[in-house]
Structure 1
Amino acid sequence: MEKPGLVWFVTGCSSGLGKSIVSTAYDAGHRIIATARNPAALSYLPDGPNVLKLTLDVTLKDSITQSLSAAVKKFGRIDVVVNNAGYAVMGDTESIAESDARLQVETLFWGPVFVTQEAVRIFRDINPKEQGGTLIQISSIGGLVTFPGSAFYHASKFALTGFTESFAKEMNPAWNIKFMVVSPGGIKTSFGSNIALGVRHPAYDTAESPLNQLMAYMGEPAIQETFSSPDQCARVLFDAVVAQEQRPLPRRLLMGAETIPLLEADLRISKEEMQTWKEETMQCSKGSI
């Protein structure tokens, strides 16, 4: 049976997966704090006692603390925090402007870091004793495997996964604070329109360019039709959160049929390389090679 009345704080709710998550929670009778850089984009949500709509820029630490404080003031606690806000910088790594690269990392890594730190404090010190809370990071299959042209996106997502898994191991079990990293593949959202394509470097902007081949492949309508539904992904996430007493949260949750073969292929290459270089690896523990 679903546990009613959880308080959800979700970033990046203007569209896509964030919109689906808060809509799913609201429809199930839960209370939600929906955030966006432009709160006018949250008009799809009804006004009422179970809904709080807030402006949030995850690149500004003051904006993060103010929005979480407003959420606690409204509902008295927060049970679930979902770090979902994001976009992608795509292009040739040599030519991406430093300012664009830094903003990508600020948005996809440092923003969720500050939200997570503040959320843990609320779960431990403000929520009823030992009630704890659940922290969900919306990462990507791109936080586990890489593709050409998204070096700073991948760097941010890999960093977020490492940060989350390390921070989770610091938790006192008595606090009852849970973490989960969600790694979707392609989702039918407006995320594609939120990709910032940098100025191309002439050395890479060629017919044989791996990035150009990837962009052509991803642009195929037939490929986009294989992407996951944001509503279905939101439902899987919601069900995982509310059913924790029966089935503990996974450390990482893949979403989308393509994610499993992509990760399996990457792990297979790593295993083959590990075996190929095993002798040299073991020699390092015996002194110089």
Structure 2
Amino acid sequence: MTENREVWMITGAGRGMGVDIAKAALAAGHQVVATGRTGTVESALGASDDLLIVQLDLTKPGDAEEATAAAIDRFGRIDVLVNNAANFYAGYFEETSDAQVRAQLETNLFGPMNVTRAVLPIMRKQRSGHIITISSQAGIVGGEFIAAYATSKFAVEGWMESLRYDLEPYGIRTTIVEPGFFRTELLVEDASTIWAELSIDDYADRTAATIPGWRNMNGQQAGDPAKLGTALVRIAGEDHPPLRWVAGADAVAVIEQKARDILAQIDAHRELSIHLAHDA
């Protein structure tokens, strides 16, 4: 048993980044509640006395409550929640149906909210805990062909940044993780990627040219999810973990440029912006 042994609850632990986060937490000596589709999680992680596998559809609040209860029944506490499970609706906004946009938000925003609502009463009672939510560089920087996905991740950023102030008085910390492109299953069709279901002539040529690029990117991403998992365990073990952790050299470059662009845009209209008060 490690000196700082903790109980980690990880969503989407059956594939992609969630597998590597769970493996890293187990390797560090922690106990892990791995959630997702049960058979998928079992095949990805195997069996261990320190591992509890729980079925969880994060879009169903009842599933989140049952998974939390199972974690408490087995391990007695939850120290770290990693909101990792997500999917990716890709396409131009007008070609992404209203139902698809809502489905994107249901999984990527309301899903982690459901799980966090279930876990927070436990952490408040403990007066300790750490909520980690996997966002994306697309939660800071929007881009072409990702309107629905970026919307969901921008919303996650605002929720988590605000949640920090709600929870700090109870000893609960929050961290937003903003990965760049990692070699996970996010770009695997029928697993995590769903294309826009509408077709509009004005977008047809651009859509036809863009989809192959996204398909070809799968398996070629620079980021190593195993290294991310190990680094995330290190981040979680810090006495003062960051509010945001930008993960990957590509994300660092893109988000740094966004910060510079924002400052430049403020400076460009500074005089106009600061002289908007009522005249004395």
**Same fold judged by TM-score > 0.5?**
yes
Corresponding residue of 1:109: 109
Q: CA deviation at 1:201?
A: 2.3
Residue among 263, 266, 269 paired with 1:277: 269
SS at match of 1:192: coil
Corresponding residue of 2:201: 202
More moved, 57-66 vs 262-271: 262-271
Distance 1:169 1:228, change over 3 A: same
- Tell whether the 8 Å contact from 1:52 to 1:71 is kept in structure 2 after alignment: yes
Distance 1:224 1:46, change over 3 A: closer
In 2: Cα distance, 1:279 partner to 1:118 partner: 47
Q: CA deviation at 1:190?
A: 1.2
Superposed, 1:88-167 pairs within 5 Å as: 88-125=88-125, 127=126, 130=127, 132-167=128-163
Deviations 1:55-108 (A, max 9, x none): 100111111111111111111101110000011101121121221111110100
SS at match of 1:149: coil
Superposed, 1:182-221 pairs within 5 Å as: 182-193=177-188, 194-199=192-197, 200-206=199-205, 209=206, 215=211, 217-220=213-216
- Tell whether the 8 Å contact from 1:92 to 1:201 is kept in structure 2 after alignment: no
In 2: Cα distance, 1:72 partner to 1:154 partner: 34
Q: CA deviation at 1:49?
A: 2.6
Runs of 4+ aligned residues of structure 1 deviating over 3 Å after TM superposition are 211-221, 223-226
In 2: Cα distance, 1:87 partner to 1:172 partner: 29
Structure 2 unmatched runs, 5+: none
Q: CA deviation at 1:225?
A: 3.8
In 2: Cα distance, 1:216 partner to 1:279 partner: 45
- Tell whether the 8 Å contact from 1:185 to 1:259 is kept in structure 2 after alignment: yes
Distance 1:179 1:3, change over 3 A: farther
Distance 1:172 1:186, change over 3 A: closer
Superposed, 1:4-15 pairs within 5 Å as: 4-15=4-15
Corresponding residue of 2:38: 39
TM-score by length of 1: 0.88
2:164 counterpart letter in structure 1: A
In 1: Cα distance, 2:28 partner to 2:242 partner: 22
In 2: Cα distance, 1:29 partner to 1:171 partner: 26
More moved, 229-238 vs 21-30: 21-30
Q: CA deviation at 1:46?
A: 3.0
1:234 counterpart letter in structure 2: G
Distance 1:213 1:224, change over 3 A: farther
Corresponding residue of 2:236: 241
SS at match of 1:35: strand
Structure 1 unmatched runs, 5+: none
2:231 counterpart letter in structure 1: V
Q: CA deviation at 1:273?
A: 1.7
Q: CA deviation at 1:123?
A: 0.7
Corresponding residue of 1:87: 87
Superposed, 1:215-234 pairs within 5 Å as: 215=211, 217-220=213-216, 225-234=220-229
Residue among 236, 243, 259 paired with 2:251: 259
SS at match of 1:33: strand
In 2: Cα distance, 1:178 partner to 1:172 partner: 6
Distance 1:97 1:217, change over 3 A: closer
In the alignment, structure 1 residue 64 sits paired with structure 2 residue 60: no
1:181 counterpart letter in structure 2: I
Distance 1:217 1:269, change over 3 A: farther
SS at match of 2:5: coil
Corresponding residue of 2:171: 176
Q: How many residues align?
A: 273
Deviations 1:166-195 (A, max 9, x none): 11112243x221100000000001110121
In 2: Cα distance, 1:115 partner to 1:28 partner: 24
- Tell whether the 8 Å contact from 1:140 to 1:185 is kept in structure 2 after alignment: yes
Q: CA deviation at 1:219?
A: 4.8
Distance 1:70 1:226, change over 3 A: closer
